[in-house]
Structure 1
């Protein structure tokens, strides 16, 4: 029973790094499968004693991964991937996928919640350690947000941006769509968690953003429909999460962070700052993707989503800064720095994810 969770010290000196990596990957894959089985266990919280062996093995691997990812100076990509995949499998239960109702049997399981909390506590501490929070607390928040937005709305092209624009092949572009479909096919869904509450101008602006993401209630105009059309043009899978196994952990981390800040009302300012960055900076990234598609001579259907987002997100960015972030800074003067924290975290994590996506594209292109 313990073979799945040992650290394999006997391989040192006689096994190579590839063998160790393969064994570690198998260990994490097995633990993830165990967790999937636990999620599907009817009334899990009343079956913990019966499932104790499986739970013990899973928890040992979970603990090992947390140490490897967040307490090891060098980090461990396989541990990051395992933890973010487990966390996502928990978080996705907050959305309805129009599937078998029994899949939601354990959506309020205390045991599942404890697993989420254990991962989040270690992960969030690791993420926050990468930002000088004390410096943010000293800022003139409104000025800081205005200055950041003025730069991020039209940033200098990075090396990765130039690669997308000038070098990516059609194979690479399809891989980009496959990874992008993870978010593109469930456009704006997590935003639903922050829309309820007292009516005011900020809330109404957020609702306007949400409604445009959802095509004002018309499926034919919903942004995810345009993404699905791009996939269809290439004969690709249009099912949500159809390319889950291709998604780098850095992208999963962005999604899991978004789940956290939308679900926790205490993080409302962080979420609002993050969405401000996302909407301000989005068009610049989409222009890179659009330029790549145009260079490749692709059809309108194969790039329409980017054109739509460029138009709408330029407007959303102004709304988020002028009608959400700045008013919130005035309303919560003592906590307003959290808006900048959310903005800076979204940028840091988004940049990290973008690099991981380009790295994945390059690997696919080199393999063909």
Structure 2
């Protein structure tokens, strides 16, 4: 499978100087710096090596600091810096999963230095993300009622302008671009959920296991959801390897993945993750119906749209499970902390909407490029 060390580096672009303070207008080649980090990931005895030769990390660390300021501390933020940071963070986070690749790729999975880099990015990113939500207001809510109302609103929302574009205008080339970006998550679906299933047994845990089992085709590879996604890719002769289209993935989509890595790796965030997963399962079918409508309009084969049909059926059921058998019971189990369920729900919606807009922008750019070449 596509490994941590063979992903293509970030395409070389200039730093947006207008997003960086005057004293920080430094010409940073993020592609080169990312490649340096990839080499660090593959270094034997990384921490000992860096202790002996600290100069090996100097350019990366200075670039990391500038990128954090550019992305999170200077107004609107620099998209190039966001992308660099989310790619670095993802390269660290993905080591929490097994990719059936060369075992040597995991030599630094418990490196204190990598954990330090991860925490540095996550801390800045989470402060920035949380600043966009009125957390104090969430703490005053009737959590049970708030969750019920949010789920009712998001189950079948009105069509947005982007949704209409997908349904009514997106070309077959745009559909293939959608699949390429979607494969980033679709080919490893459910993997992060597995990180929170261990522990004491109760009805909430069993419901989460049921969700995971259905995502994994109840242990049958032919029925696993990622298998259906791979079939859609194969129908167009596209790359079916996980992360095969990593370079197309907008930073907003990477941010969703990294956010969920954080929530699933830290049990203190269990309620936030459960709230976020509730939104994801409730709102998913509405998005999948848009993609299915586009495929049907384009006259594509059943194999080229089968994943969406499967998800519409199963996620409607998963959404009910998540609300009735996970989120609402957790409000009773954790009455003082239950507001975190709503925080997780709202964050998943905020980051998901941002990612969806970025995907549509990317599709439009790809379609325009094709038109320009014709």
TM-score (norm. length: structure 1): 0.94
Partner of 2:103: 101
1:60-75 map, 5 Å: 60-75=62-77
Residue 180 of structure 2 is aligned to residue 178 of structure 1:
yes
Partner of 1:352: 354
How many aligned residue pairs are there? 352
Partner of 2:51: 49
Q: 2:174, 2:363 within 8 Å by CA — same for their partners in 1?
A: yes
Q: 2:272, 2:345 within 8 Å by CA — same for their partners in 1?
A: yes
Shift in Å, 1:8: 10
Aligned equivalents of 2:296, 2:170: Cα separation in 1 = 12
Partner of 2:38: 36
1:274-285 map, 5 Å: 274-285=276-287
Partner of 2:167: 165
SS of 1:191's equivalent in the other structure is: helix
Partner of 1:15: none
Partner of 1:148: 150
TM-superposition CA deviations, 1:130-169 (whole Å, max 9, x none): 0000000000000000000001000000000000000000
SS of 1:48's equivalent in the other structure is: helix
- Which of 126, 129, 144 is equivalent to 2:128? 126
TM-superposition CA deviations, 1:205-231 (whole Å, max 9, x none): 000000000000000000000000000
Shift in Å, 1:74: 1.9
Aligned equivalents of 1:280, 1:61: Cα separation in 2 = 39
Cα distance, 1:7–1:172 mapped onto 2, change above 3 Å = closer
Cα distance, 1:315–1:50 mapped onto 2, change above 3 Å = same
Residue 208 of structure 2 is aligned to residue 241 of structure 1:
no
Aligned equivalents of 1:277, 1:219: Cα separation in 2 = 26
Partner of 2:318: 316
Partner of 2:304: 302
Shift in Å, 1:7: 8.0
RMSD, aligned α-carbons: 1.7
Residue 222 of structure 2 is aligned to residue 220 of structure 1:
yes
Aligned equivalents of 1:185, 1:260: Cα separation in 2 = 20
Aligned equivalents of 2:274, 2:53: Cα separation in 1 = 41
Shift in Å, 1:249: 0.1
- Which of 251, 254, 268 is equivalent to 1:252? 254
Shift in Å, 1:281: 0.1
TM-superposition CA deviations, 1:37-67 (whole Å, max 9, x none): 0000001011113442230000000000000
Partner of 1:76: 78
Q: 2:235, 2:303 within 8 Å by CA — same for their partners in 1?
A: yes
TM-score (norm. length: structure 2): 0.92
- Which of 255, 264, 267 is equivalent to 2:266? 264
SS of 2:192's equivalent in the other structure is: helix
TM-superposition CA deviations, 1:2-38 (whole Å, max 9, x none): xx9x9898xx9xxxxxxx99x65xx111111010000
Q: 2:50, 2:56 within 8 Å by CA — same for their partners in 1?
A: no
Q: 2:36, 2:60 within 8 Å by CA — same for their partners in 1?
A: yes
SS of 1:47's equivalent in the other structure is: helix
- 4+ runs deviating over 3 angstroms: 6-9
Aligned equivalents of 1:353, 1:265: Cα separation in 2 = 25
Aligned equivalents of 2:43, 2:200: Cα separation in 1 = 38
Aligned equivalents of 1:74, 1:283: Cα separation in 2 = 32
Aligned equivalents of 1:168, 1:210: Cα separation in 2 = 32
